[in-house]
Amino acid sequence: MLWALNALPNIGDTADPTVPIPLPPAAAPPATFPDLADVEETFLAKGGDFLVAELDGHVVGMGGYRPDPDGGAEVLRVRVHPATRRRGIGRALMTELEERAAGHGLTTMRLDTATNQPAAMAFYEGLGYREVGRERQPGWTWTLVYYVKALAGTPQPSRSPASGGGT
């Protein structure tokens, strides 16, 4: 079900109750997101975490983090089913991920989204994430936007050039 949730569009209406909640199972992991093929190895074995939100037995949200070498965490694959957006599921996922990361001594969370997802940008900014860089590549129709947030009372990192990572 994670693969099917990941395949739902991330752009468009912030909440779309017309999308059926029961997701058809995907036959294979998404080729462009190989980390979802093995969540255990990609997230958990690296000291991170991965959460799944369910509603009435259906997967409606997910997201994870993995530690990075500088003592922070990279947030990846945050998705909320379009039919259940704007109900607090994303906020609950992010809050729990932040609490778990802080509990493991990580000091910051970093993530990225894109300018073609203004609702996601507003969502992360509303959670206290601060923009620290942008990246545009030839052939992209969007700009990647990098965010960071200090955890557990640690100071905010200074603005730095865009660097890798992806959500």
pLDDT of residue 167: 44
Looking at the predicted structure, is the pLDDT value of residue 165 above 60?
no
Q: How far apart are CA 142 and CA 29, in angstroms?
A: 24
Please state whether beta strands 108-114 and 73-80 pair in parallel, antiparallel, or not at all (unpaired).
parallel
Sign of CA dihedral 29, 77, 167, 22: positive
Confidence of residue 152 (pLDDT cuts 50, 70, 90): confident
Looking at the predicted structure, is the pLDDT value of residue 27 above 60?
yes
Condensed to tens digits (0 to 9), the pLDDT of residues 106-137 reads: 999 999 999 999 999 999 999 999 999 999 99
Both tokens assigned to 63: 């997201």
Looking at the predicted structure, is the pLDDT value of residue 49 above 90?
yes
Give me the chain's average pLDDT, please: 86
Per CATH, the number for 2-107 is: 3.40.630.30
The rounded Cα 124 to chain-centroid distance in angstroms is 10
Percent of the chain with pLDDT over 90: 59
Confidence of residue 153 (pLDDT cuts 50, 70, 90): low
Looking at the predicted structure, is the pLDDT value of residue 46 above 90?
yes
pLDDT of residue 11: 61
The phi, psi pair for 135, rounded to 5°, reads: -140, 135
Burial level of 6, CB count in 10 A (0-12/13-18/19+)? middle
Q: Please answer whether residues 104 and 31 qualify as being in contact, where contact means their C-beta atoms are separated by less than 8 angstroms.
A: no
pLDDT of residue 1: 61
Please state whether beta strands 49-55 and 130-135 pair in parallel, antiparallel, or not at all (unpaired).
unpaired
Residue spans of the domains in the chain: they are: 2-107
